Structure 1
Amino acid sequence: MKIVELLENDPGLKAGERYAGILGASPSKGARSPLLWNAAFQDFGRPERMVPMDVLPEKLGQVLETLAGDTDFIGGAVTMPYKESIAAWLGSHRLSPQALKIGAVNCLYRNDAGELCGTNTDGEAALADIKASIPDLRGVDTLLIGPGGAGKAVAAFLADAGASLTIVSRSPETAKDFCSGIGAKSATNADIGALIPASSLIVNCTPVGFANGVASESPIAAADLDQVRPGSLVFDIIYDPLKTPLLTMAEKNGLEIKNGLTMNLLQAVLGFSKATRIADLDRISASMKKAAG
C-alpha cells in the first residue's frame, strides 16, 4: 500500500519524489515544520520537500512500516501525540542515546545501513532558549507540567543542566520511574498551588492553551499564578497562539514569558541536519528564520 492511501490528508506526493514528513494527529492544520524545512531544502538546492502527515492511531504502525520500507522517505519530524509510541515502535536499537533515555522521539532519520531511526531534539532546543534567560540552571527551583513526549525531553535536559526539578502529571505513578531516572521529584496537579511560590522557572509542556486544543484554558489557575515570585520565567512550549492564556496572565503579573517559537525553530534546525546530514547549522538556521519571518 502507498503512504498516501494511509493518511487522512493528501500530501500531494508524486511517484518517485524524495520527501520528508511530519507525523502527528493533524500536522496539516498549522504545523510549522514544513515551512521551515522546505525553505532549507530550497536554500541548499535539495530535491526533497517536507509534507504533513495526518495519521490515525490505528494506522500508525502500518504508516511506519510503509515509511521504513520507502527509500524515497529520508526522515522528518514527529509531533503530538506519537512521540512516545513511535519511540516504542522503533525499539532501543534504533534510538539515539538521548531518545532512549527520554523514551520519545521528535526526529526520524536513516542510519548508515538505511534503517529508519529516531532521536530527540526537543530538549536541546528548549534548554538553549531557557538558558538565554537563565544561563546557570544549577539549583534553580523548576516546575514542569506535563511529562509527555516533549515534556520528558525538556525535563531530561533541565535535569542534566542541574535544575532542581519537580514534574507535575495527572498520573504520577506512570511518570514515577522517569522522574526517578533523571533525579526529579514527582507531583500531581493538586500540588501546583503549594509548589508555585518556590518556583523560579515554570514550564508548561501540556497542550492546554494550544489553538487546536483547549485554547481558552491554562494549566495553572490565575490564583496560583499570582503566587509566583517576581522575576520568575514562565516558559510555554506552545507557539500557536504566541500568547497562551498562561503567558497572558503571567505577563500581566510582570513575569518574564517565553513561548515555544524559538524552541520550534531550533529543534527543526537540528532535525533537518540529522535527516539530511548537512552540518552547517548556521546556514540552516538562517534559511529557516527567513522563512519564519
Structure 2
Amino acid sequence: MKKIYGVMGDPIKHSMSPDIHNDAFARNGIDACYHHFHVKAEQLDEAVKGMKAIGVAGFNVTVPHKTAILPLLDEVDEMAHAMGAVNTVKNVNGRYIGYNTDGAGFVTALKERFRGELASLKTLMVGAGGAARGIYYALSREGAANIDICNRTLENAKRLIEDCPYRNESKALSIQEAEQRVRSYDLIIQTTSIGMSPDVNSVPLNLDLISEHAFVSDIIYNPLETKLMKTAREKGAAVQNGVDMFVCQAALAFEIWTGVFPDTGKMREIVLDKLGGS
C-alpha cells in the first residue's frame, strides 16, 4: 500500500517540499506520496492524533509548530530535544519519533561548497533565533568551537551560547562590534529574515570591512541573491544562498524515512526552477 508523507504548517501551500519529495520517491522506486497538511495552531493535537490514526508514515513540521509539537510525540531524538524544535517526524511501529535536520542540513550544504576544516574556522553568526540555534548546535557538535554570535538583542545571543550542550568558545556581540571585527572571520552565516523578499534592500550587517577570503552563507533563498550576498561577492568573498540548506535538510529527512539519501542535485534543480532562478 502506498505510504503517505507530508508537511504540516500554517501557512503551508507555498511549500516546495511536495515537489522535491514526490520526485525523489519516483526516482528511487518508492511507492509513496507527499502532501501539504494545513494545520492551525489550535488543531495541532488533533492533527497529530489523526495522522497517527490513519498511519501517516512520516511528515515534516514547519512554522508555527516546530516547538509546540514536542510534547505530542512519543520520542524526540537528542539534537531535536536540545534545540527544542522538531522539523521531521517518523512513524516507527506506530510511535512518532521527532528529529531536527535543519542544523545538520546546513552543515551538509556548507561542506558541499566550502572545503575548509570547520573546526579551525573563525565564524560569525548573525541572528539568535530558531534557525540560528539549529545551525549553531550542529556546527558546535562538529567541533567548530569559535563561533561568535551577533544579534540586535544581545541577551538572546548570550542565552543561545549558554544553552548549547556542546563545547564552544563563543562570544556574544552587538551588531556594531561585529561590523568592526568582520574582517577577522573566515565564515559568516546570516540566519535572520532581514533581506528576504519583499524587503530586499535591507541588510542585517555592514560588510564593508569583510575579507576577500571570507565565505558568506545566507539562509534566505528568496531572493536567490540578497543584498548582503551581493555586497560580499563584490568585495571578493564567496557566497552561498539558502537553497542548499533547504535541499539538504529535506534530503536528510528523506533518508530518515526511507534509508535512502536522494539526489540533492536534482532536488536543487526543482527548487531553482520553482523559484525562477539558476
1:50 lines up with 2:34 in the alignment = yes
In the alignment, structure 1 segments of 5+ residues that lack a partner are: 1-15
Shift of 1:135: 2.4
1:140 lines up with 2:126 in the alignment = no
Structure 1's 227 and 205: CA in aligned 2 closer, same or farther, altered over 3 A? same
Q: Give the aligned length.
A: 266
Residues of 1 paired with 2:266 and 2:235: CA distance?
A: 36
Shift of 1:235: 0.1
What is the aligned partner in structure 2 of residue 274 from structure 1?
256
Identity of aligned residues (%): 27
What is the aligned partner in structure 1 of residue 236 from structure 2?
254
Structure 1's 161 and 62: CA in aligned 2 closer, same or farther, altered over 3 A? same
| Cα contact 1:121–1:270 (8 A) shared by 2 | yes
| Cα contact 1:168–1:186 (8 A) shared by 2 | yes
Shift of 1:258: 0.3
Residues of 2 paired with 1:245 and 1:59: CA distance?
A: 38
Residues of 2 paired with 1:174 and 1:85: CA distance?
A: 20
Deviation by residue 1:2-47 (Cα, 9 ceiling, x = unmatched) = xxxxxxxxxxxxxx98522222332312x22111101112223444
Residues of 1 paired with 2:10 and 2:139: CA distance?
A: 27
* SS, match of residue 225 in structure 1: coil
Residues of 2 paired with 1:233 and 1:256: CA distance?
A: 5
What is the aligned partner in structure 2 of residue 264 from structure 1?
246
Q: TM-score scaled by structure 1? A: 0.79
| Cα contact 2:211–2:235 (8 A) shared by 1 | no
1:19 lines up with 2:4 in the alignment = yes
Shift of 1:105: 1.9
* SS, match of residue 60 in structure 2: strand
* SS, match of residue 58 in structure 2: strand
1:78 lines up with 2:61 in the alignment = yes
What is the aligned partner in structure 2 of residue 8 from structure 1?
none
Structure 1's 261 and 286: CA in aligned 2 closer, same or farther, altered over 3 A? closer
Structure 1's 244 and 57: CA in aligned 2 closer, same or farther, altered over 3 A? farther
| Cα contact 1:22–1:53 (8 A) shared by 2 | yes
In the alignment, structure 2 segments of 5+ residues that lack a partner are: 274-278
Residues of 2 paired with 1:190 and 1:66: CA distance?
A: 49
Structure 1's 229 and 84: CA in aligned 2 closer, same or farther, altered over 3 A? farther
1:121 lines up with 2:109 in the alignment = no
| Cα contact 1:17–1:72 (8 A) shared by 2 | no
Shift of 1:49: 1.8
